[in-house]
Amino acid sequence: MYQHTRLTTNRLGFFQKFRNFDYILLVCILLLGFISLATMYSTDGGEIKFHTKSHFTKLAVFTLMMLIMSFINIKYWFSIGYLAYVVVVGLLIGTYLFGITSSGSQRWINLYFINLQPSELMKIFIIVCLAKFFHRMKLENVNSIYTILTSLIIILLPMGLVIVQPDLGTAVLIAISGIAVLWFAGINYKYFIYTILGFIISLPFVIAFLKPYQKLRVLTFLNPDKDPLGAGYQIIQSKIAVGSGGIFGKGFLKGTQSYLEFLPEKHTDFIFTLFSEEFGFVGSAILLVIYAIIIYRIVAIGASSRSYFAKIFCYSFGAAIFVFITINMSMVLGLLPIVGSPLPIMSYGGSSMLATMIGFGIVMSARVHNQQLIA
Amino acid sequence: MINSSSDNVKKLNSINRRMFITGSLKFFVMIGIVSRLFFLQVKENKKYLTLSDKNRIREWKLAPVRGEFHDYFGNVIAGNFEAYQLHVIPEQVEDFRYVIYRLKDLLELSDLEFKKVLKKKNEIKPWETLIVSDNLSWQKFSKINNHLYDLNGVKPVISISRNYPFKENFTHLVGYVSQANQDDIESTQAIKKNFVPGLKVGKVGLEKTFEEKLIGTNDIERYEVNAYGRRISQLEFQKGEKGKTLRLTIDTEVQKLANELLKDQAGSICVMDIYTGAVIAMHSSPSFDPNLFVFGISQDDWQLIRNDPMKPLVNKTLQGNYSPGSTIKPIVALSALENGIVNTSFTVRCTGKTEMYGQTYHCWKKKGHGYVSLRNAMKQSCDTYFYEVARKLGVDKLSETAKKFGLGEKVFGNLFDIEKKGLIPNTQWKKNALGKGWLLGETIITGIGQGYIQTTPIQLCLMTAQIANGGYKIYPHLVVDDKVKDQPIDKFTPLYKNSKNIKIVQDAIFGSTNEVMGTSYRSRIDNPKYQFAGKTGTAQVKKITEEERELDLKTFQIPYEQRDHALYVAFGPYKNPRYALSVIVEHGGNGSTTAAPMATKLFKLIIDRHKIRESLRNKKYLEI
């Protein structure tokens, strides 16, 4: 096996790798970074303050990291798949044991140089791990009990660790990342259909087990006007901000809803609201187009990759990113209950950006080494 | 290898098929999001824009400027003055403790006042205005201004507030304003609409009656605010309208004289134009300074007013139910004439007392008046004569005439909610109210204005005015109103059956004042310019026992509460009557010695002022 791999390896020179870059994807990511910086500048009230500076630093460091990652052979990312998963699970356990508590949940772990949110990283590394898991598997084995059980354990272990933080939103996103891989790996349709049916049937029981604040969120989503100053406040204010933006928006730095502090969490989960208020329907549509191009490029890179690992990773990552974006936007537009889910790249938050950039890095690496086969 | 590669192909087929499904799903979801954006931002844009403005724009209402009261000549009775106030916005003060203690020293605040300020401070948000003092003297205000360098965040402010320059002179008529309470807000729409904290509204009198006209409209400031309610910037200032200024029919000079005459006594004076019904003066004594209430009356002042035995809080002109005493005699005489019970030659022999139905009725004059006709009886106020007339007339006919002349009914209609109706009894009334039959003896004492009969001073004034003007109905009013259309249609309808009867009564009243033996002869004015005709009255507050009658005590020998009320009604000038008045002095003793001399002084002034008043009326349209 190793011999085979070595034989088919075509070592690329530095400039060759450079030429293999997906520049459309890179430009879109940089553009997105620029937009997110401008939006962050607006949340700081039109001044360069803490959030803008910090976001800029993270953006610069992580973009650089992504570029470096793309020069590293996709083989390498394949080889660390399980290890990375184990390390992140270890970090999650560490978070559970010695994590930093903030606003009622224990999500962060102090790594001396950085406060990390391992659950965010898990969104990516669960894809890497499962992609590796399915890479070697023959299609007839995919639907075996062993495979399904193993992959379920791989998904449920970090989910459980995240749920106890408690952070249901991120746990759901991790599950979605994992399920995306299962979907592309070729698990039988019927399992998905059964799962969906089972979920719908068990929904009332799930709701019964939810924490009071989570129940409130669901109820609030169903009827935000019930308690407009309490639980419904976020959804209502967010909708007002977006709706009042109109076609062309109120103008950069002129979003009254955010400027006058009616918007909650405007740096993180509700960043799209602010953007949408200031740049209107046209701006939001452009932002969506940028995201669409990014996802399209990710999928295209997957399609052009020779290795199954790269393919399944790209497809799953593309689907996961899409779901993250959709959930965040649906939430701020009042289509889904409030679950804590950041908008990739746009939202303030280092761990989320790190995870996304790692994802992009692996995708870019798959692009640069798209002729690479992994046995 | 072949096996493996065919597996690979299958795997690729599977993944690509699923990618296609995923891709299509993504497409539809994306369309969903875009259409949601379109719905919110394009279709519902207006609604959310309104909501956003509602969020960020907040209105602040400022107290409206209240309309004024002017007297007939344009003197300000109730006006506005610039109150010097001291405002502090706590968050703009660097060292609040220092500043507030410094202010305490400068303003010489008592510990109690100081505590109140601190309590207020804790109740408001730090960016809201704290009113440290709402009415500073000029000295203190300028003192603060001199120390402003030391007082960061302290703002001396000039604000507009109510002022009554004539102090106690108009209190019962105009009333006063004070801070609006929950009842005021709920009962009056205009107050609800214009309410701001600290708004002053009319509590009694015309201030209350004309609240809706006087209140004006708020100035409105629009500010952009943030989610916590902090003002960010002012967007608009909308000037409100000042309330309507009302011109009263009152002559301040006459009103002041009325005050002076009743000083230290309890009672009422009202003066009325007998043709227009314009009230020239209307005073109830004792009075108090309405300015005390504007910024909230102190407990001491309030107790002083409340516990005064002369009851300054009662508007005696409108609320005082008095037995009219002999002042009712013109109506009794008129009623008897109208009903053909007596004529001018009808005489009664007065021996000082008379026995009727087993009871003895006394005339005020022990020795009696001898044979008296109507004119003499009125002139000397012979009770015996009127006992006999009343007996022959009957109470029902008497009450009919009395009601026609405005007794037993509110004079100002709905203008004052405190006004009393008085009481004109008849047989039906007694049966309904007391469930007993009418006794003839009660008719007899009603004939001299005692017993059940009760009238307010303003009713007596109206009654006199309607006799004086020849027996025509008038509607008393207080506010000069240019609109003629509001005049009731039955104004100036005759109240008599035969105008001769009115003349007879007028002449009898003339005799009472201007002829020897008349009860108010000593108060007469011979100069025909001022000559007036009036009828005295002395209303007993309690039944006089035989014993007391024997003692024949002088007024000052009787305890205050048991002394008779002194009444006087009059009209003048006699040749060409124009004004009628009524005077009541509570426990003043005798109508002819206490009340009638006041009329003398009043008529001198009223008639002198008449010319000025007329010239103003004629010039009215030129001046405007």
- pLDDT at residue B623, rounded to an integer: 44
Q: Tell me the average pLDDT across A44-73.
A: 92
Model confidence at B428: pLDDT above 50: yes
Structural domains in chain A (count):
1
Q: By the 8 A CB rule, do B207 and B184 touch?
A: no
Tell me, what's the ipTM?
0.91
Model confidence at B407: pLDDT above 90: yes
Q: Which residue has the tokens 């009898």?
A: B508
Nearest by CB to residue B33, choosing from A246, A261, A329, is A329
**CB B41 to CB A281 under 8 A?**
yes
Q: By the 8 A CB rule, do B381 and B536 touch?
A: yes
CA distance B92 to B88: 8
List, by residue range, all CATH 3.90.1310.10 domains of chain B.
60-247
Each residue's pLDDT tens digit, B304-323? 999 998 999 999 999 999 99
Model confidence at A231: pLDDT above 70: no
Residues paired with residue B130 on neighbouring β-strands, in sequence order: B88
CA-CA distances (angstroms) from residue A181 to A133, B24, B546, B605?
Answer: 10, 17, 121, 108
The answer to which of A34-48, A321-335, B190-204 has the lowest mean pLDDT is B190-204
- pLDDT at residue B4, rounded to an integer: 61
- pLDDT at residue A162, rounded to an integer: 92
- pLDDT at residue B1, rounded to an integer: 42
Nearest by CB to residue B37, choosing from A139, A326, A333, is A333
Contact of B226 with chain A, judged by CB distance below 8 Å, is answered with: yes
Model confidence at B40: pLDDT above 80: yes
Q: By the 8 A CB rule, do B150 and B102 touch?
A: yes
In a mutational test of the A interface, the residue from B40, B53, B222 whose CB has the highest number of chain A CBs within 10 Å is B40
- CATH match for B60-247 among 3.90.1310.10, 2.60.40.10, 3.30.1330.10, 3.30.70.1230: 3.90.1310.10
Q: Tell me the average pLDDT across A254-260.
A: 84
Model confidence at B10: pLDDT above 90: no
Each residue's pLDDT tens digit, B500-546? 999 999 999 999 999 998 999 999 999 999 999 999 999 988 877 77
- Looking at CA atoms only, how far is residue A300 from chain B in angstroms? 11
Model confidence at B7: pLDDT above 90: no
Contact of B14 with chain A, judged by CB distance below 8 Å, is answered with: yes
Residue A353, phi then psi, degrees to nearest 5: -65, -40
Q: Tell me the average pLDDT across A107-126.
A: 89
**CB neighbours (10 Å) of residue A230?**
10
Closest CA to B540 of B549, B527, B530, B528: B549
Each residue's pLDDT tens digit, B97-131? 888 888 888 888 888 888 888 888 888 777 777 88
* CB proximity list for B12: less than 8 A, separation 6 or greater: A308, A311
In a domain, residue A63? The reply is: yes
Nearest by CB to residue B11, choosing from A288, A308, A335, is A308
Each residue's pLDDT tens digit, B533-559? 999 999 988 877 777 777 777 777 888
**CB B36 to CB A333 under 8 A?**
yes
Contact of B57 with chain A, judged by CB distance below 8 Å, is answered with: no
- pLDDT at residue A322, rounded to an integer: 96
Pick the more confident residue, B225 or A283: A283
- pLDDT at residue A105, rounded to an integer: 79
CA B353 to chain centre: 44
**Looking at chain B, which residue has its C-alpha nearest residue A316?**
B19
**Looking at chain B, which residue has its C-alpha nearest residue A289?**
B30
CA distance A343 to A336: 14
Q: By the 8 A CB rule, do B467 and B495 touch?
A: no
In a domain, residue A11? The reply is: no
Q: Tell me the average pLDDT across B399-418.
A: 91
- Per DSSP, A227 falls in state S
List, by residue range, all CATH 3.40.710.10 domains of chain B.
252-294+315-623
Each residue's pLDDT tens digit, A282-301? 999 999 999 999 999 999 99
Could you give the residue ranges of the DSSP H alpha helices within A210-232? 212-222
- pLDDT at residue A35, rounded to an integer: 96
**CB neighbours (10 Å) of residue B512?**
31
CA distance B109 to B136: 11
Please enumerate residues of A whose Cβ is less than 8 A from a Cβ of B: 138-140, 183-186, 237, 239-247, 256-257, 260-262, 276, 280-281, 284-285, 288, 292, 295, 299, 302-303, 308, 311-312, 315, 319, 322, 326, 329-330, 333, 335
Model confidence at B624: pLDDT above 70: no
Q: By the 8 A CB rule, do B351 and B302 touch?
A: no
In a domain, residue A7? The reply is: no
In a domain, residue A3? The reply is: no
DSSP string of B363-418, one letter each residue: -SSTT--EEE-HHHHHHHT-HHHHHHHHHHH-HHHHHHHHHHTTTTS-SSTTS-TT
The long-range contacts involving B186-192, CB below 8 angstroms and separated by at least 24 positions, are: B188/B212, B190/B215, B191/B215
**Which fold is adopted by the domain B252-294+315-623?**
Beta-lactamase (3.40.710)
CA distance A109 to A120: 12
Contact of B6 with chain A, judged by CB distance below 8 Å, is answered with: no
**Looking at chain B, which residue has its C-alpha nearest residue A260?**
B226
In a domain, residue A31? The reply is: yes
- pLDDT at residue A99, rounded to an integer: 85
**Which stretch of DSSP H or E encloses residue B247?**
strand B246-247
Does B309 sit behind a cis peptide bond, omega within 30 degrees of 0 on the bond before it? no
- pLDDT at residue B283, rounded to an integer: 94
Each residue's pLDDT tens digit, A175-195? 999 999 999 998 888 989 998
In a domain, residue A282? The reply is: yes
CA distance B108 to B99: 14
Model confidence at B3: pLDDT above 60: no
- pLDDT at residue B422, rounded to an integer: 92
- pLDDT at residue B486, rounded to an integer: 60
**CB neighbours (10 Å) of residue B119?**
9
Q: Tell me the average pLDDT across B293-302.
A: 87
Strands (E), B13-123: 57-62, 69-70, 76-88
Model confidence at A225: pLDDT above 70: no
**Looking at chain A, which residue has its C-alpha nearest residue B33?**
A330
- pLDDT at residue A375, rounded to an integer: 64
Contact of B17 with chain A, judged by CB distance below 8 Å, is answered with: no
Q: Give me the domain span that covers residue A30.
A: 20-368
- pLDDT at residue B100, rounded to an integer: 85
Contact of B56 with chain A, judged by CB distance below 8 Å, is answered with: yes
Contacts of A330 in chain B (CB under 8 A): 33, 36
Q: Give chain B's mean pLDDT.
A: 88
Structure tokens at A108: 């962060």
CA-CA distances (angstroms) from residue A195 to A130, A201, B23, B198, B391?
Answer: 19, 10, 21, 65, 109
CA distance A63 to A31: 12
Percent of chain B with pLDDT over 90: 50
> What is the interface size between A and B, counted as CB pairs within 8 Å?
122
Q: Which residue has the tokens 């948000």?
A: B125
DSSP string of B473-534, one letter each residue: ----BSB----STTS-TTTT-B--S-HHHHHHHHHHHHHHHHSTT-TTGGG---STTT--EE
**Looking at chain B, which residue has its C-alpha nearest residue A296?**
B23
**CB A260 to CB B38 under 8 A?**
no
Contacts of A280 in chain B (CB under 8 A): 41
Model confidence at B2: pLDDT above 50: no
Each residue's pLDDT tens digit, B351-390? 988 888 888 888 988 888 999 999 999 999 999 999 999 9
Q: Give chain A's mean pLDDT.
A: 88
CA distance B407 to B400: 10
Kindly indicate the confidence band of residue A6, based on its pLDDT and cuts at 50, 70 and 90: very low
Residues 35-54 of B with CB under 8 A from A: 36-38, 40-42, 44-45, 47-49, 51-52
Nearest by CB to residue B40, choosing from A239, A257, A312, is A239
**Looking at chain B, which residue has its C-alpha nearest residue A284?**
B37
CA distance B200 to B177: 6
Let me know the angle formed at the C-alpha of A277 by A273 and A283, rounded to the nearest 5 degrees: 95
Structure tokens at B450: 């005692």
In a mutational test of the B interface, the residue from A134, A139, A311, A328 whose CB has the highest number of chain B CBs within 10 Å is A139
CA distance B416 to B408: 16
**CB A262 to CB B16 under 8 A?**
no
Structure tokens at A68: 């470096």
Q: By the 8 A CB rule, do B541 and B587 touch?
A: yes
